[in-house]
Amino acid sequence: MATFFGEVVVAPSRAGLDEEEEAREETPEDREIRREIEKKRYEAQAGHQGEVDVLWSWRSGGCAEEPLVCSRFIVAIGRNAAAFLSSFILDSVCWEVVGVVKLWNEWCRTSSTTNVLPTDSFCLFYRLISDPTVLLCQCSCYVAEDQQFQWLEKVFGSMQKKGLQVTILSTCPVADYKTQESTLTLVSPFLRALKTKEFQEQVCCPLLEQPNIVRDLPAA
């Protein structure tokens, strides 16, 4: 349970449910739709393992199981957040591309190449040249609900967790923001934050007010 509103807490995930338990909660129509989606994804990925693949350039040589030492990991999710990184942070020669996420779903299809830098990738990882422990991720593609756990598992499974600080940047329409004020009087864009109890530094903006919530991959 959260000790205050605005704290990020770990909630039970349906990703760990076995197929038998999940099937008992599905209607026949739900199962049929799920089968069709899985069939299309399987056909599109012919010859490839898994729906989400993470490729790192540093793993092309050396130990494939060696975790990446990372002190700060900043993830921009969505086109607006990714554009913010491009305009204000990545517009310099201080960064190098070190990885990519490849996936296929109804709204995002990357190529079948095994190159670490596919030209049509929508999810790239950058490393700060002066401090290789600082990592950025631009994720402007749609990650389906049933792919989010796999995305997290594979991305964070490659990193050393000790001493890792993760910052997520995302956006949502002002119309979705719940407030007693009129949204017409709000000065946009504006910032709100969520944080875990482990984060002891000063937050750069007010915390997100009730009853607003974060959804999809940022929430995961």
What is the tens place of the pLDDT at every residue in 148-197? 888 899 899 888 888 899 999 999 888 888 888 777 777 878 889 999 88
Average the pLDDT over each of 1-10, 50-59, 110-119, 149-158 and give the range with the smallest value. Answer: 110-119
pLDDT band at 116 (very low <50, low <70, confident <90, very high): very low
* 64 located within any domain: yes
> Residue for token digits 């994720």?
139
Helices (H) and strands (E) in the chain, counts: 5, 6
Say if 97 falls within a structural domain. yes
**Residue for token digits 């991720």?**
137
Does residue 135 form part of some domain?
yes
Return the closest-CA partner of residue 136 out of 85, 60, 203: 85
Residue (of 135, 164, 156) closest to 71 by Cα position: 164
Residue 109 has pLDDT above 70, yes or no: no
Domain that holds residue 137: 53-169
Instruction: Say yes or no to pLDDT of 17 above 60.
Output: no
Is there a domain that residue 66 lies in? yes
pTM tops 0.85, yes or no: no
Answer yes or no: are the C-beta atoms of 126 and 135 closer than 8 Å: yes
89-98 average pLDDT score: 85
Mean of pLDDT values over 121-127: 83
**How far, in Å, CA of 8 to CA of 6, rounded?**
6
The end-to-end CA distance of the chain, in Å, is 17
In a domain, 215, yes or no: no
CB 124 within 8 A of CB 112: no
Q: Distance between CA 106 and CA 204 in Å, rounded? A: 36
CA distance linking residue 119 with residue 109, whole number of Å: 12
What percent of the chain stands above pLDDT 90? 16
76 in helix, strand or coil? strand
The number of folded domains in the chain is 1
Domain annotation covers residue 147: yes
Instruction: Give the Cα separation of 175 and 110 in Å (integer).
Output: 31
195 within some domain: no
Amino acid at 100: V
H/E stretch holding 52: strand 52-56
pLDDT of residue 62: 47
Q: What's the token pair of residue 104? A: 């296929």
- Domain presence at residue 77: yes
The confidence score (pLDDT) of residue 134 equals 93
The alpha carbons of the chain give a radius of gyration, in whole angstroms, of: 19
